[in-house]
């Protein structure tokens, strides 16, 4: 089984990553994917706010280990043939890709569920810190969302 985990500043090529995951593995019947991108707004409290950039910080070494634990957990739950998780850090512009999760399995249900699981758990357990820059130049750190915790909790039942 191929597992690729990376935390990087450079953009990724999702097509190339899919091809790399599928290469020479004829047991794969489907690959599920999720690509997160920087959106131009975020809800804070009860209101929407525009964003001009998003900066992601992490703790090198710790972050990769946390991602590996999440992937290992997914591999224990579903019969996967391969997993790719790439998460970017640094300053990102609107529309840029932030995260790529690919899960490959013989059957689509396992691939879909594992992809969703990895993303839900990543949002709550991977040590990334997000700072938004607003159009007026001010900055604010992004707190964890209750909806992210709720999404992760459903897998722990």
Of 77, 91, 97, 119, nearest to 16 by C-alpha is 97
CATH of the domain at 66: 3.90.1170.40
Residue 14 resides in a domain: yes
Residue 126 resides in a domain: yes
Query: Which regions in the chain score pLDDT beneath 70?
Result: 44-47
Residue 100 resides in a domain: yes
pLDDT of residue 48: 76
pLDDT of residue 46: 66
Exposed/middle/buried for residue 47 (C-beta within 10 Å: 0-12, 13-18, 19+): exposed
pLDDT of residue 115: 98
pLDDT of residue 149: 84
Number of domains in the chain: 1
pLDDT of residue 45: 62
Annotate the chain with three-state secondary structure.
CEEEEEEECCCCCHHHHHHHHHCCCCCCCEEEEEEEECCCEEEECCEEEECCEEEEEECCCHHHHHHHHHHHHHHHHCCEEEEEEEEECEEEECCCEEEEEEEEECCHHHHHHHHHHHHHHHHHHCCEEEEEECCCCCEEECCCCHHHHHHHHHHHC
Residue 157 resides in a domain: no
Residue 54 resides in a domain: yes
pLDDT of residue 69: 98
pTM for the model: 0.94
pLDDT of residue 32: 98
Q: Residue 101 is part of which domain span?
A: 2-150
Residue 66 resides in a domain: yes
Residue 55 resides in a domain: yes
Residue 156 resides in a domain: no
């Amino acid at each position: 089984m191929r597992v690729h985990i990376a935390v990087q500043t450079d953009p990724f090529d999702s097509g190339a990553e899919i091809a790399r995951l599928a290469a020479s593995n004829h047991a794969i019947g489907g690959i599920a994917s999720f690509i997160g991108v920087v959106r131009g707004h975020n809800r804070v409290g009860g209101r929407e706010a525009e964003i001009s950039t998003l900066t992601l910080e992490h703790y090198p070494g710790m972050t990769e280990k946390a991602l590996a634990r999440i992937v290992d957990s997914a591999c224990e739950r579903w019969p996967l043939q391969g997993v790719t998780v790439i998460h970017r850090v640094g300053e990102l512009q609107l529309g840029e890709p932030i995260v790529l999760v690919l899960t490959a399995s013989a059957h689509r249900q396992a691939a879909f569920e594992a992809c969703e699981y990895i993303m839900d758990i990543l949002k709550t357990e991977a040590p990334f810190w997000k700072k938004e820059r607003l159009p007026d130049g001010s900055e604010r750190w992004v707190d964890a969302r209750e909806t992210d915790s709720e999404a992760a909790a459903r897998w722990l039942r």
